[in-house]
Amino acid sequence: MSPQRTLRPPRPALLALADGTVYRGEAFGADAVREGEVVFNTSMTGYQEIVTDPSYAGQIVTMTYTQIGNVGVNPEDEESDRPYLEGFVVKELFHEPSNFRARGTLDEYLREAGVPGISGIDTRALVRRLRDGGAQVGVLATAADAQDESALVARARASTGLDDHDLVAEVTCAEPYDWSEGRWAGIAGQVPRAAAPERRFKVIAYDFGIKRTILRMLVEQGFDVTVVPARTSAADALARNPDGIFLSNGPGDPRAVEGVRENVRELAEHKPLFGICLGHQILGLALGGTIRKLKFGHHGGNQPGQDLHSGKVAICAENHGYAVEADSLEAAGEAIEVTHVNLNDGTVEGLAHRTRPLFSVQYHPEASPGPHDAAYFFGRFRQMVERCVAGESVSGAEIARGWEA
Amino acid sequence: MPRREDIEKILLIGSGPIVIGQACEFDYSGTQACKALREEGYQVVLVNSNPATIMTDPETADRTYIEPMTVESVEKIIAIEKPDALLPTIGGQTGLNLAVDLAETGVLERHGVELIGANLAAIHKAEDRQQFRDAMERIGLRVPESGVAHSVEEGRRILETVGLPAIIRPSFTLGGTGASVAYRDEEYDGLLDWALQQSPRHECLVERSVLGWKEFELEVMRDAADNVVVVCTIENFDAMGVHTGDSITVAPAQTLTDREYQEMRNAAVAIMREIGVDTGGSNVQFAVDPRDGTLVVIEMNPRVSRSSALASKATGFPIAKIAAKLAVGFTLDEIRNDITRETPASFEPSIDYVVTKIPRFTFEKFPAADSTLTTQMKSVGEVMAIGRTFKESLQKAIRSLEIGHAGLESPQLPDADGDGGEQALWASIDTPRPGRLWAVAEAFRRGHSVEEVARRSHIDPWFLRNLQELTQLEVALNAVPPDQREQWLLTAKKAGFSDRRLGALWGMSEDDVRGMRQARGLRPVYKRVDTCGAEFEAFTPYLYSTYEDECEAQPTDRRKIMILGGGPNRIGQGIEFDYCCVHAAMALRDAGFETIMVNCNPETVSTDYDTSDRLYFEPLTLEDVLAIAEIEKPEGVIVQFGGQTPLKLALPLERAGVPILGTSPDAIDRAEDRERFDDVLETLGLERPPGGMARSQEEAEAVAARIGYPVLVRPSYVLGGRAMQIVQDVQGLREYMRFAVRASPEHPVLVDRFLADATEVDVDAISDGTRVVVGGIMEHIEEAGIHSGDSACSLPPHSLSDAVLAKLLHSTRRLALELGVKGLMNVQYAVKDGEVFVIEVNPRASRTVPFVSKAIGRPLAKLAALVMAGQTLEELGFTEQIVPSHFSVKEAVFPFVKFPGVDTLLGPEMKSTGEVMGIDSDFGRAYAKSQTEAGNTLPTGGTVLVSVRKEHHESLVEPVQQLVACGFRVMATAGTAEVLEAHGVSAERVNKAHEGKANTVDRIEAGDVDMVMNTAAPDSKSIQDSYSMRRAALVRGIPYFTTVAAMRAAAGAVRAMRQETIGVRSLQEIHGTARSSSR
């Protein structure tokens, strides 16, 4: 409990889990009662990017790091137009940020977005519960008239959670739009960035809940980007005459996403294609693979992702509760190879096609938040598109093997 | 890539004696490296001159050389051992510099030894200021504008572009020795000249100051496959301008957005690649402009460092161990994370707590030193605390420091013109000094704003707001009516308040607060440091306390013993005590006990998570230790190994029902309480110097009048001779009493006859209650009056008669039995004219235990720990004193060079930071080695400058004659010269410093002098007159001796050195424990 309680009366908040565990703390953000799958993220920086990542739709996110709000919020670090998560859980929240880019506080930011938060609870105990018992549904109540423990536990129990919900439909854009903004200019003194290639290519980015940094990284690789709604048909996409197709990250259970798989299957026949996170899972499903749910998922910026070809390990940002089962693709008769694995538990993190220009990655090469070690994927995509446009018959696996970082 | 098969034997170089800037963190790193390499089947040869280290235990390496760390000496070792490779990155700057010298003088090539971990080019690129600057520019990173100067003239030209204030950084020095900030034009030349002298390459960087910018450090590791991980980020509470070793630092970084942090990370990775650190860990320092985030690179260290030790403790990621494995070919993904077991080392630790480090200073030992914190490190130790929030970890760190603070107490601020101390307050905030933290808190208490404090201190507002919130909470707590205090307890405990601080705020005793807390069932819980923010299960019980819901301690029901460590290093209580604690843990673990270590010093081996079965990284206060005892319920606690820190807790712990192992707290009190101890001596019929105890100035004068001057005065219950002085007359006594009574108000002052020119002797012994075995008798080289920690000593004694030795043994045995010692005991004696006087008895581990253990080849601390756990000396097979046939000499190492303006004369107050050990077949050679190791290499010819006080004239003749016989020329001041000439020694006359030109100082500065022998009469005028001569010798690295006994020893050593070259021998060979080198 922060000493701020001495300065202003705290608002009570309550987080009730489906297993009956209840955490009482202080409210911040909006007055609300929201339910969601409770997950944790181990990133020590980048709470604003996490809060605005549409992949967290349907989830209540717990930060394992304890000091949150230190650097406030700013417009450049938003990964989408608003927070999509259901709730935010922290150990200690800071109301007076210190950073030259801060334009507001996290508290106000979440309040305006209608997202409730709870602070002052034993977040480590909560994380250990999720780790040992698996992800589960929780209800976060900050409204003064909704602090009844048993009612909230009952509501958490009644919830069906993420499985079988098409959350993509809730977060995808309504209309296509063009994106041309590059990455944040950065700070004086940083490692100089390579200039974007002169020759430009056109990419269609399917928005399953896309993060802005992905769009920015594509622009930096010389792509003119058009973002399209998740259910845009293959015919409509191809009618725009793109040089490549990108499948974005997004929230929830890939198996529940409707009206997408078939389009992806068709697009994969015609265009070089690159998928990230949910996009990677949907590509897996489109090629006939199956998906499993992980016990508590990977959510953090310190995961070891190994490139099986080079043996090199990228420290990468991951955020997924589901994973593609590698064997299932073999079984479906696809010439797919696993290019990347998570060294912690062997989860499949990257796939590439042996004959067609397709590859995908489970983690987040755009990071944000997280280390930039895996940014090379965008370069691979650029190279694959360039060679395809030049009429070469190049496969995703060939790109993965021939790449010199 | 798997382990390299083409190398079998690896040479490691340690960091030598403890000095400011290079402390026991390198024992921690080096020990880890030794263990890691042997675990992989390599043979390890170790060189380190510091006996008080775990790394120089004969079990740690295959061959251990406690020998001079010079090219000449190490080449001899290489010739004997023929190692295949040298790992240069684990011995601090000393080890790295020596490795560079070995490479550059062709020694490594000549013997076919490969540098692993860091190649010569990479070391130069990182350490050479100009090469580093060029490298940064090549990869597009910024460095502060600067130039490299090799002379003051060159430096003048650089200043024109850099401007004032300018940072002066000598190349290849450790802890920023010689570094400074020049604010004014007129001080620039002097500071630059000083810095150039400190650099072994006579080279300095003069750099545009980024004072006031934020300072960050990244601990980075790279493997041979070019995988790079950042183990830890550290943000400095104190802004740029304060050496990071002297800054309060916090992990992880707190005030960077992810975008800014990732740019910093990208820069660190690019630097690792550009510098070409092939494998291992490096520390990269950045400065950030708080106004716009501009990033500049300050420096990188291509080796393990103090910060990497801190980062290892802060995250649970053992950097030195992993660096050693990377150096022999493994890649990060091939190494398991010990703590999670399941996951590989190729990841970046995520922590779910905040770590705060606060340095510990000892300016009270050097009143003449400037306590302003600047770019040259001045602290001698540090504490680290872990809490779930910054507030909690900061408050835990404060009480870990043991400087009398239980929290953010109000500082005493002298009133100027009735301003209530405002001027003094702002002076303490504007200029960084050790107590600034408390001044900042006071500013908030007085209602000043975060903005104003930030503007004047350059401390980031985020830290300041936390301090402001703590003081606001204090104010609120203060106002809580007594009947409502209980309801505020949890809030206060969560913010890290100690029971003692709460007691002070509420006008209650610490015990009452604890009682109230326990009545409400409020106890800390323990969380695990697990490298991963609880994402994976942790198998290593590395724990810290907090006030939350869930406790992860999971105590076992095994037989267990808890060992209390020594807390922060300081002068008088350092690595020697940590060594003993580690030995206790090792012995008791081997004997089947579960061992529980409690300590708060991140530099140590004791706080390595695999030294004991369980590690509690906690402050060593009664509150914190009792809480651990409550949850663990050990069958005994060892308080005698960690120095004064845990010893102070013995009685209160016993009163609280915690069983204390070994010598009882009452016996400790009998030895330490003057009056009770006098009774002991009377019972035994032993002599002590006449004296008495005084509780007031009048009493002190009465005692002194009775026993006669000079007298030795000191407060009771102190370690390291704090505030101990020899007083010549009643005037001096009155002055002292004013100072001492302030220094220790609750305890009386001891006044003893000072036995001038007596020989002091230290005896370490073990008793099991019925049998007493002496571990070693050490004869001090310096005469009585010099603190035993500062005096060189010889084991066995080199001049004591058999009759005296017999008396010493007899007295020691009887003292141990009378006091009922179970475990270690140290007795200090003075011997004068064949008479033996007891000076003091310490029924605990002493500073000399590691030295004695290495001299006699038996681990005294281990044996004592087992005795304390119930075994007899007979069962342990240690029944006879071992008198080795070789000589071992311990010599002290001093921090004078770091403190301009401080005299180098020794006295009863301890001033040394570390020690070295010279071992050889006779005393002269052993002494010569110890001098070389202490940086006081004796010349074998040249000119000796002699200037001694009248009383020493006669005793000086013989050593000077010896030197003349060795071919030395003699230069002497008038009085000394006359006496020498009377004895047939011709001497060139030289003026004293105050006698005009061509004086002693001028001749030293002109390079005409190779060795100085100087004693000064104990009056301030004589001391003042000769001060500049001693200082000149120190600055120019010329060996100097300030006692007659040391002069004699030095003359003997010079003779031994001239007779034949000195060889090297490993401990294993000396003690006959060498195993066959083929495994």
B257-269 residue pLDDT tens: 999 999 999 999 9
Say yes or no for a CB contact (<8 Å) between A189 and B295: yes
**Token duo for residue B258:** 């992810």
pLDDT tens-place string over residues B359-385? 999 998 898 899 999 989 999 999 999
Give, as one character, the DSSP assignment of residue B661.
P
Res B812 pLDDT > 80? yes
> Among partner residues A71, A123, A303, which is closest to B257 by beta-carbon distance?
A71
Q: CA-to-CA distance for B964 and B960, rounded, in angstroms?
A: 6
Q: Do B462 and A70 count as a contact with CB atoms less than 8 A apart?
A: yes
Residue A125 has its nearest CB partner, among B291, B293, B548, at: B548
Are B325 and B278 within 8 A, CB to CB? no
Q: Could you give the maximum distance between any two Cα atoms of chain A, in Å?
A: 69
Distance from CA of A281 to the nearest CA of B (A): 23
Structural tokens at position A44: 């020590």
Question: To the nearest 10°, the Cα dihedral for A50, B311, B398, B285?
Answer: -80
**Which amino acid, B731?**
Q
Which residue in the list A220, A277, A298, A320 is annotated as catalytic? A277
Please state the φ and ψ torsions of residue B446, each to the nearest 5 degrees: -85, 5
Is A316 in the active site?
Answer: no
Q: Does B16 touch chain A (CB under 8 A)?
A: no
DSSP H or E stretch at residue B888: strand B887-893
pLDDT digits (tens, 9 = 90+) for B439-451: 999 999 999 999 9
What's residue A176's pLDDT? 98
CA dihedral A80, A82, A86, A90 (to 10 degrees): 90
Active site residue A353: no
Residue B441 forms contact with A (CB below 8 Å): no
Which residues, 6 or more positions from B775, have their beta carbon under 8 angstroms from its beta carbon? B764, B765, B766, B849, B852, B853, B856, B858, B860, B881, B882
Q: Give residue B322's pLDDT.
A: 97
Question: What letter does residue B265 receive in the DSSP assignment?
Answer: H
Torsion sign over Cα A253, A259, A265, A269 = negative
Q: Does B138 touch chain A (CB under 8 A)?
A: no
For residues A257 and A1, what is the distance between their CA atoms, to the nearest angstrom?
Answer: 41
**What is the pLDDT, as a whole number, of residue A6?**
44
Q: What share of chain B is helix, strand, coil (3-state, %, to 5)?
A: 40, 20, 40
Q: Is B538 on the interface with A (CB under 8 A)?
A: no
Q: Phi first, then psi: give them for residue B820, nearest 5 degrees.
A: 75, 40
Supply the pLDDT for residue A403. 58
| Tokens 């680290």 belong to residue | B384
pLDDT digit string, tens, across residues A365-375:
999 999 999 99
CB atoms within 10 A of CB B41: 11
- Cα dihedral B822, B824, B827, B828 in deg (nearest 10): -160
Contacting residues for B150 by C-beta, under 8 A, at least 6 apart:
B196, B202, B203, B204
Pairing state of beta strands A22-29 and A12-17?
A: antiparallel
Beta-carbon contacts of residue A323 (< 8 Å; ≥ 6 apart): A281, A291, A292, A294, A347, A348, A362
- Contact status, residue B189 vs residue B159, Cβ threshold 8 Å: no
Instruction: State the best of A191, A295, A366, A368 to mutate against chain B, taking most chain B CBs within 10 Å.
Output: A191
Q: What is the pLDDT of residue B742?
A: 53
Pick the residue from chain B with its C-alpha nearest to A311. B225
Q: Which of A240, A229, A248, A105 is nearest to A174 (CA)?
A: A229
Residue B744 has pLDDT above 70, yes or no: no
Neighbours of B479 (CB within 10 A): 10
Q: Are B307 and B243 in contact (CB under 8 A)?
A: no
Residues on chain B touching A318 (C-beta within 8 angstroms): none
Task: Report the alpha-carbon distance of residue A165 to residue A161 in Å, rounded.
Answer: 8
CB of A117 within 8 A of CB of A66? no
Output the CA angle B756-B757-B760, nearest 5 degrees: 100
Q: Could you report how far apart the first and last alpha carbons of chain A are, in Å? A: 47
Task: Give me the helix-helix angle, B849-856 and B575-590, nearest 10°.
Answer: 60
Question: Which tokens sit at B36?
Answer: 């890691």
What are the E-state strand segments in B294-397?
295-301, 354-360, 381-387
Identify the pLDDT of residue B1074.
54
Please state which of the ranges B392-401, B533-542, B858-867, B1021-1030 shows the lowest mean pLDDT: B1021-1030
Q: Please tell me which residue of chain A has the smallest CA distance to B459.
A: A98
State yes or no: cis peptide before B568, omega within 30 of 0.
no
Per-residue pLDDT, B692: 86
Contact A312 B225 (CB under 8 A): yes
B586 within 8 A of B619, measured Cβ to Cβ = no
Q: How many CB atoms lie within 10 A of CB B707?
A: 16
Question: In terms of CA atoms, which chain B residue is nearest residue A134?
Answer: B535
Which region among B344-348, B626-630, B1042-1046 has the lowest average model confidence (pLDDT)?
B1042-1046
Tens-digit pLDDT profile for residues A196-230: 899 999 999 999 999 999 999 999 999 999 999 99
CA B451/CA A118 separation, integer angstroms: 29
Q: How many CB pairs under 8 A join A and B?
A: 216
The order of strands in the sheet holding B749-753 is: B691-694, B749-753, B711-715, B725-727
Please judge whether B258 and A45 are an interchain contact, meaning their C-beta atoms are less than 8 angstroms apart. Answer: yes
The identity of residue A292, as a single letter, is R
With tokens 């190649």, the residue in question is B119
How far apart CA A309 and CA A397 sit, in angstroms, is 10
Q: Is A26 a catalytic residue?
A: no
Parts of chain A with a pLDDT under 50: 1-7, 405
CA distance A191 to A189: 7
Pairing of β B166-170 and β B85-87: unpaired
Instruction: Indicate which residue of A165, A280, A320, A364 is catalytic.
Output: A364
Using a CB–CB cutoff of 8 Å, tell me whether B293 touches chain A.
yes
CB B840 within 8 A of CB B828: yes
pLDDT tops 70 at residue B558: yes
pLDDT digits (tens, 9 = 90+) for B620-675: 999 999 999 999 999 999 999 999 999 999 999 999 999 999 999 999 999 988 88
Q: Do B461 and A311 touch (CB under 8 A)?
A: no
Nearest CA in chain B to A302: B348
3-state DSSP helix/strand/coil % of chain A, to nearest 5? 30, 30, 40
Q: Which residues of A touch B535 (CB under 8 A)?
A: 40, 42, 64, 127, 131, 300
Closest by Cβ to A371, choosing from B139, B226, B265: B265
Mean pLDDT of B790-806: 95
pLDDT digits (tens, 9 = 90+) for B121-153: 999 999 888 899 999 999 999 999 999 999 999
pLDDT of residue B1017 exceeding 90: no
Contact residues, chain A, for B270 at CB < 8 Å: 191
Touching check for B484 and chain A: CB below 8 Å? Answer: no
Q: Nearest-CA neighbor of B603 among B822, B384, B808? A: B384
Q: What is the pLDDT of residues B303-340, one digit of tens each?
A: 999 999 999 999 999 999 999 999 999 999 999 998 98
Beta carbons of A125 and B469 less than 8 Å apart = no
Of B80, B95, B79, B75, the residue nearest B34 (C-alpha): B95
As a whole-number percent, the residues of chain B with pLDDT over 90 amount to: 79
Partnered with residue B916 across adjacent β-strands are: B891
Q: How many CA atoms lie within 13 A of A117 on its CB side?
A: 27
Query: How far apart are the C-alpha atoms of B525 and B628, rounded to whole Å?
Result: 10
DSSP B411: P
Asked if B152 and B358 touch (Cβ cutoff 8 Å), the reply is no
Average pLDDT, integer, range B408-422? 92
Q: Looking at this protein, which amino acid is placed at residue B449? A: S
One of A337, A366, A386, A398 is an active-site residue; which one?
A366
Of the candidates B59, B119, B109, B114, the one whose C-alpha atom is nearest the C-alpha of residue B89 is: B119
What chain A holds in terms of domains, given with CATH numbers, is 12-158 (3.50.30.20), 168-402 (3.40.50.880)
Q: Per-residue pLDDT for B743 more than 50?
A: no
The span from the CA of B219 to the CA of B316, in Å, is 13
Instruction: Tell which B residues from 205 to 234 touch A, by Cβ distance under 8 Å.
Output: 225-227, 229-230, 233
Q: How buried is A269 (Cβ within 10 angstroms: 0-12 exposed, 13-18 middle, 19+ buried)?
A: exposed
DSSP-assigned beta bridge partners for residue B777: B763
Tell me how far apart the alpha carbons of residues B1048 and B226 are, in angstroms, rounded to a whole number.
56
Residue carrying the six token digits 């020691």? B812
Interface mutation vs chain B, best among A22, A309, A342, A344, most B CBs within 10 Å: A344
Closest partner CB to B266 (pick from A1, A370, A372): A372
Q: State whether B292 and A42 contact (CB < 8 Å).
A: no
Least Cα separation, residue B295 to chain A (angstroms):
5
Average predicted confidence (pLDDT) for chain B: 93
Q: How far B61 CA lies from chain A's nearest CA (Å)?
A: 33
